[in-house]
Structure 1
Amino acid sequence: MTARSDYKFIGFATLLLLMLAGLWLGAALFGRPRLQAQSGSCPVANKIDETLPSGGRWQLCWEARDQEGIVLHDIFYTTPTGVTRKVLRQAGLAQIQVSRDDGSAPTQVLTELGLGGDHLLTLEVADCTDGTL
């Protein structure tokens, strides 16, 4: 084999691997039987089930964890035609950008110590002087 044909073979093999990976991913995402949103593992108080005016529906579960803070999981979207897809298994809040109404630059709240559990602060009326708590 010449150097040129070696490159063609490597390119073909790479393309073939990418195609197989795409087929596997497609089968994994779309070839399964439809998943039932909110299978019952989520406490009723932590379920969010919202149907939009368009007929689309979002279903998810949330919880407050000691280190991650607010965590959303088992996030499903149902199209107006009734097709349900799992959009995301889990998303943890790792950082918050706080924008204040006084015109100052936004600040970042990082989760070095965690955003949940004992790290949460209770808001007081003084924390929201021009709004409603």
Structure 2
Amino acid sequence: MTARSDHKFIGFAAVLLLMLAALWLGATLFGRPRLQAQSGSCPVANKIDETLTSGGRWQLCWEARDQEGIVLHDIFYTTPTGVTRKVLRQAGLAQIQVSRDDGSAPTQVLTE
């Protein structure tokens, strides 16, 4: 990776983390939006459509599920030249590895 691509990746990671934090806060404060599995559509309130300064565009849908936590799905990236690619069908954020600074082994935090 070049320094420029590292910078772009760090920027994307920061944007994604901010979006996830906003989703978590919204689900906590305003209830848990639900999607109908068979509908194949994404409610406007659950859609994220973000265009970066580079001209790249990320589009995805999210929902908060009781068993799985926040789930991102139908994730697409459109290049600055207009080529759209499906990046990921679904990603659940129900499991988090916690590393402590006391030298103990990392623990897993699971939603139940």
Which range, TM-score by smaller chain? 0.5 to 0.7
Query: Contact conserved, 1:94 with 1:110, CA < 8 A, in 2?
Result: yes
CA contact (8 A) 2:54 2:80 kept: yes
Give the fraction of aligned pairs with identical amino acids, expressed as a percent: 95
- The corresponding residue for 1:61 is 61
Question: Which of 79-88 and 4-13 deviates more?
Answer: 4-13
**Structure 1 residues 38 and 54: alpha-carbon distance in aligned structure 2, compared to 1, 3 A threshold:** farther
CA distance in 2, matches of 1:111, 1:89: 21
Compared CA separation, residues 48 and 99, structure 1 to 2 (3 A)? farther
* Structure 1 runs not aligned, ≥5 long: 113-133
Partner secondary structure for residue 53 of structure 1: coil
CA contact (8 A) 1:38 1:59 kept: no
Contact 2:27/2:64, CA 8 A, preserved across alignment: no
Please report the RMSD computed on the Cα atoms of aligned residues, expressed in angstroms: 17.9
Q: How many residues align?
A: 112
Cα 1:81–1:31 shift into 2, 3 Å: farther
Q: Structure 1 residues 20-29 or 40-49, which shifts more? A: 20-29
Query: What's the CA shift for 1:111?
Result: 2.3
Structure 1 stretches of at least 4 aligned residues deviating more than 6 Å after TM superposition: 1-40, 99-106
Matched, 1:5 2:9: no
- What is the CA-CA distance between 1:68 and the residue it aligns to? 0.5
Q: 1:38·1:60 contact (CA, 8 Å) conserved in 2?
A: no
How far is the alpha carbon of 1:87 from its aligned partner?
0.7
Give 5+ residue unaligned stretches, structure 2. none
Q: Who wins on radius of gyration, i.e. which is larger?
A: 1
TM-score by length of 1: 0.47
TM-score normalised by the chain length of structure 2 = 0.55
